[in-house]
Amino acid sequence: MMHCTRIDLPQEQRSELIRLLNDRLADALDLQMQAKQAHWNVKGPNFSALHELFDKVAEAAEEHVDLLAERAVQLGGVAEGTVQVVAKKSKLAAYPLNLVSGYDHVEALANALASFGKAVREAIDTATKLNDADTADLFTEISRATDKNLWFVEAHLQAER
């Protein structure tokens, strides 16, 4: 369903952009919950630092969720952010529920961030091809923040054990 808008992009382009935004919305909601899963369940000597880091990753993902959902609605679409939609549409690998150690959570969350970052970079190219610089810019903003969070998480993997 499309709502009327005075945004000067053709309806066909807006439909494709809305689909793209909703696809990445599902991934962002999944990423947010994966970060919270790590936040709630991490154990070990680096508990405090990782607990806080994982919460910051979840907060950043929540900001991305809002940006993606609001842009889909601005373009005349419906933001598809229910748990049922996320379960069907997310391209992220399922987060393992049996993780305990900080290292294992870092590894799993780094994989999720990298996967999300790749999908967002692909979305930049798609939005650019659809002649929507605003949506491409939104995806660029999300990409930069995701790469930064991946850097923070991966730093815990790069030290000697």
Q: What is the pLDDT of residues 67-92, one digit of tens each?
A: 999 999 999 999 999 999 999 999 99
pLDDT at 104: 97
DSSP string, 37-98: HHHHH-BSTTHHHHHHHHHHHHHHHHHHHHHHHHHHHHTT------HHHHHHH--SPPPPTT
pLDDT at 1: 72
| Spans of all domains in the chain | 11-154
pLDDT tier for residue 2 given thresholds of 50, 70 and 90: confident
Q: What is the pLDDT of residues 9-26, one digit of tens each?
A: 999 999 999 999 999 999
Could you give the dihedral angle defined by the CA atoms of residues 153, 83, 81 and 19, in that order, rounded to the nearest 10 degrees?
Answer: 90
pLDDT tier for residue 160 given thresholds of 50, 70 and 90: low
Identify any residues that bridge with 43 across adjacent strands, giving them in sequence order: 101
Q: What is the pLDDT of residues 16-56, one digit of tens each?
A: 999 999 999 999 999 999 999 999 999 999 999 999 999 99
pTM, two decimal places: 0.96
Are the beta carbons of 37 and 70 closer than 8 angstroms?
no
Are the beta carbons of 111 and 93 closer than 8 angstroms?
yes
* CATH placement of domain 11-154: 1.20.1260.10
Q: What is the pLDDT of residues 115-156, one digit of tens each?
A: 999 999 999 999 999 999 999 999 999 999 999 999 999 999
Are the beta carbons of 49 and 65 closer than 8 angstroms?
no
pLDDT tier for residue 97 given thresholds of 50, 70 and 90: very high
